[in-house]
Amino acid sequence: MARNLPDLSSLRPAGSKHSTKRDRVLSVFLRQEGHLSADDLCDLVHLEDPGIGRATVYRTLQWMVGAGIARKVNFGEGRARFEPAYRHPRHFHLVCAECRRSSEFLSSDIESLLEEIASARNFQAGQAVVQISGVCEDCRTGVKTPPLDGTTTERVFARDALRIAIATERSGLEFYSRASKLTTDPRGREVFERLAEEEKEHLGTLEKRYAELLADDEQLESRPTFLFFKGAANGIFAEGSEKLGKGVDDQQALLIGIKCERGSHQFFKRYGERFEDSEGRRIFLEFADEERTHLELLIREYRSLRERQATERSGRRPSARARAAR
């Protein structure tokens, strides 16, 4: 994925001395795709500045790992490789035991499980390394798949982000359609129906966007998945729909909706902010903004419902806000 390089001075630890050579090594490293060995990086640096020695490159690599700018990985080749970590979310690898090529994937479900295990053991987790060793499709079939370039990688990322957003939108549409049929409060029913319509409209927009993305690349649909967010995409509103089916009142239905929208907003915002500037990042953050708007609407309606219920119990005249909400 093409990277917008940051201000290199912002990556230096406080109090560290400026080094032109280290900045040159850092700049070369951040412009690369894939996983580089120290020798690979040395060769690339020498193309731009033959005066930078191997010792400088090795020291800079160690500094980058310590500063969280690079990650050190080992694919069983007998030498370490390095990949950018700056604004590049933690991910995992499939490593072919025959050709030694690796492919990346990101899974929020695996991340959640790792965080749950570390928390249960009261363990302060640092770097997590998950590698699956086996034989890749190319080695099994003998058919060579063209390597991904930066543009294709970004399209795969955008494709997967749209798939996740579409799955979440479908789940949200089912939730609000169901909630609108179950609630007895007229105003609450109106809110749920409105949100269902918005989900349906936005779902159509996302599906059109997805079709346009595929139209630009005939092979995009068959490219391997990078983002595995099945639990997050399908689980947030699905759990809410299940609770609705057990029988709830109007207030409980709104609270369930609030919980779903808050969880969805936080999830898409958290991951969107971790990605580099890309179409996938924009999709996640746009979706997070939409979920926040829905969340604010549900919170307002919940407060209005509570006030209307309190007024009915006390026999007092409804406040202007409660009357306006009717």
DSSP 192-234: HHHHHHHHHHHHHHHHHHHHHHHHT-TTGGGSPP-EE-HHHHH
**Token pair listed for 56:** 């400088």
Nearest CA to 106 out of 130, 125, 70 is that of 130
Q: How far apart are CA 194 and CA 116, in angstroms?
A: 36
Residue 69 in any domain: the answer is yes
Same domain, residue pair 104 and 115? yes
Same domain, residue pair 204 and 71? no
**Token pair listed for 281:** 């990042």
Same domain, residue pair 263 and 204? yes
The per-residue pLDDT for 190 is: 95
Residue 105 in any domain: the answer is yes
Domain hosting 313: range is 150-325
Q: What is the mean pLDDT of residues 247-258?
A: 94
pLDDT in tens, 171-205: 999 999 999 999 988 999 999 999 999 999 999 99
Same domain, residue pair 285 and 271? yes
Q: What integer best gives the mean pLDDT of the chain? A: 85
Residue 26 in any domain: the answer is yes
Residue 14 in any domain: the answer is no
CATH number of the domain that 94 lies in?
Answer: 3.30.1490.190
Percent of the chain with pLDDT over 90: 48
* 96-107 burial: b if 16+ Cβ within 10 Å, else e: beeeebbbbbbb
Same domain, residue pair 178 and 292? yes
The per-residue pLDDT for 88 is: 64
User: Please, what's the largest Cα pairwise distance for the chain?
Assistant: 85
Same domain, residue pair 209 and 278? yes
Residue at a domain's end among 112, 130, 145: 145
pLDDT in tens, 273-297: 888 778 888 999 999 999 999 999 9
Query: Is pLDDT at 11 greater than 70 in this prediction?
Result: no
Assign 14 a pLDDT band (cuts: 50, 70, 90).
very low
